[in-house]
Structure 1
């Protein structure tokens, strides 16, 4: 299992909406995440900076990278675009983090 950490930004006035949309995540999105090897997926919010910290465990980097090309993922990105910083393809602006310590 591989661990991935990353940062994103939600707009300051959209904290509640961001959380609401994730509390109501579409079942087909969850299914696609599982099919692409995602497990133990969490997103945390620092309200002071509007920074999101994402953590996900994946089975395989190549399988995980294919998630971005799915229609359901593209639909989710378009749905989330009004509430967070995004790239021109609606994907979230993301900073990948390097793991420097882990303890089981």
Structure 2
């Protein structure tokens, strides 16, 4: 297992809607993430900067290429495109973060 962290950017005025959509996460999306090796996934919001901070725990079955190409993942990205900074394929712009400390 390994952990990865990254940032994304929420667009102003979308805090409540972003929270609502994630509270109603699609079961088919949650299952897809788990099937592709994401065993834990947390997203935190900095309300001052609107930065979203995500942490994922990945197992040995994690497959980014399969996940990114899956129709359910693409459907979710299209559903979320109006709330955050995105790439041309509607995937969220992500900025990897480097781990500098870990306390087991």
Question: Into which bin does the TM-score normalised by the smaller protein fall?
Answer: over 0.9
TM superposition score normalised by structure 2: 0.94
Deviation at 1:65, TM superposition (A): 3.8
RMSD: 1.3
3-state SS, counterpart of residue 56 of structure 1: strand
Contact persistence 1:58–1:64 (CA under 8 A): no
Question: Aligned-pair distance for 1:61?
Answer: 7.6
Aligned residues: 104
Relative to its length, the structure with more helix (as a share) is 1
| 2:77 corresponding residue in structure 1 | 77
The alignment's TM-score, normalised by the length of structure 1, stands at 0.94
Runs of 4+ in 1 over 4 A off after TM superposition: none
Judge conservation of contact 2:37–2:62 (CA < 8 Å) in 1.
no
- Residues 38-88 of structure 1: CA deviation (Å, up to 9, x unaligned): 112100000110000000100138613421111100000000000011011
Matching residue of 2:29 = 29
Distance across 1 between alignment mates of 2:81 and 2:70:
17
Structure 2: 5+ residue stretches without partners: none
